[in-house]
Amino acid sequence: MKRPLTPDDIASHYSAAMDSVNLINGDKSELMTNAEWAECISQNKLHLKIMIEKDFWTFEDLSPLKDAIRE
């Protein structure tokens, strides 16, 4: 049986999701090809889609996650 998430666990998940948001909204690294960048963005958007569907959110603002997916 899974243990319930603590507020610290939820904060950690939110922080990781915001890392994806910041990456999506950031600039491509000069070390990445366009194909690598596109794959990176795709994977981070998938991460955000999965995170938005989680049922453990309390008062966190999920709008930055949703906005990043739309871009």
Enumerate residue ranges in the chain where pLDDT < 50. Answer: none
Look at the alpha carbons of 71, 45, 32, 15 in this order and tell me if their dihedral is positive or negative. positive
- Output the pLDDT for position 2: 80
| pLDDT score recorded for residue 62 | 97
pLDDT at res. 1? 73
DSSP code of residue 58: -
Identify the pLDDT of residue 8: 96
Using the Cα atoms of residue 29, residue 30, residue 31 and residue 35 in order, give the sign of their dihedral. Answer: positive
**pLDDT at position 4:** 87
pTM of the model: 0.89
